[in-house]
Amino acid sequence: MKKTKQILKTTALLLAGTFMFFSCKEKKQVASEQKRYTITAGVYSQGGVANPLYALSKHDGYFDKEGIDIKLFQSDRNSFVEALSVGKFDITFSSFIGQVASAAQGADLVLFGGTQSGGEAYYANKKVAEKYKNPDNWGDIKLGLLLNSTSELHLRTVFQRDKGIDIKSNIKYMDGEEAKLQATLKGTVDATHVSRLYFDTAENMGLVKLFYLNDLQPDYVCCRLTANGKIFREEREKFVRYLKAEIKAYKVYKEDPETTIAALQKEKIEESFSRRYIFDPETNGGISFNPDPNFNGVSDIYDTMKRINFVENGRNIEEFYDISVYADALRAVISENPNDKFFADMWTYFVEHNNHYPDFEKDYVLNKA
């Protein structure tokens, strides 16, 4: 009897082991059979991509877990928007002004997520710096800016909206970064816009920092994720998965600088650069890398582009701006992490920064995450 019981017990264990073996094998097979998606990202700079979300997603496995294979496509800066329009690559994460202008006039492009904001400041000639540290004193300021740059459009948007002033008459257009800095040093202009990579140069020249652009407009928009429209519509799921990866990476970037710096090093971004220009609040210009589309911010800039005739007879912005893909991606991440307050807070941010989108209340507030 005892022998029979032992045989039955052994048989049961063997069957359980066999079941577990095939169950694990089945799960591995399902994972290995996960559909893969290839996304080609257009860049016009040599070297690595100095974007923490991209670096973390690529090197710490977030893209891979979502079935995304990422490739880079080198494109000439002068033909960048055209190359995206004809589908030479799927997406770009560069400055959004050219993409918005082209899409407004009919180019088949879709803006759908965020890349970067902040990282910029105004610097002044030391003789007038104290006066112009307060933007309320800017009525007579002379500014050196690049024509139709993000900084010009941002400044004209804020002053028109908040102060009822068109500040164009205060602007002198310059040809490049060096020209802006030299004009400010000589006193030809009082102040200029400076990106974080030129902060040290400006200060070594004796110019004085007035404030970050974020002080005028928190979370002002800069670089946006933009896709080829045809590819975006036909392969929507891969863009949802791309953003799922970057949403998860965003949490790591915000909570774990050391892991983020290590990922950036794999993109050949030096540790000293990451610490100084991405994480140090004294020298990073208030930079932020947030995947949220921030429709409200782009819509404000677009209104300015139309008001100053940079864009004439442009399409309605919602025709080439999509927030649904990001919303679907964030909902999916929240569903996978129901007790994680960080992702719940991202939904709150999404509501606050995209609620000017048509039918937002119906689609994203009444129908919450």
Write down all domains in the chain, each with its CATH number in brackets. 37-117+221-365 (3.40.190.10), 120-216 (3.40.190.10)
What number is the average pLDDT over the span 160-166?
A: 89
Q: Using a cut of 0.75, tell me whether the model's pTM lies above it.
A: yes
Contact 190, 184 (CB under 8 A): yes
Closest CA to 180 of 156, 153, 165, 198: 198
Max distance between CA atoms of the chain, in angstroms, equals: 104
> pLDDT averaged over the chain?
90
Give the pLDDT confidence score for residue 367 in this predicted structure: 67
User: Is the model more confident about 89 or about 4?
Assistant: 89
| SS3 at position 212 | strand
CB 184 within 8 A of CB 192: yes
* Mean pLDDT of the region 14-24: 42
**How many angstroms separate the CA atoms of 166 and 153, rounded?**
11
Residue 11 predicted with pLDDT over 70: no
| Residue of 87, 187, 99 lying closest to 143 (CA atoms) | 187
Assign 19 a pLDDT band (cuts: 50, 70, 90).
Answer: very low
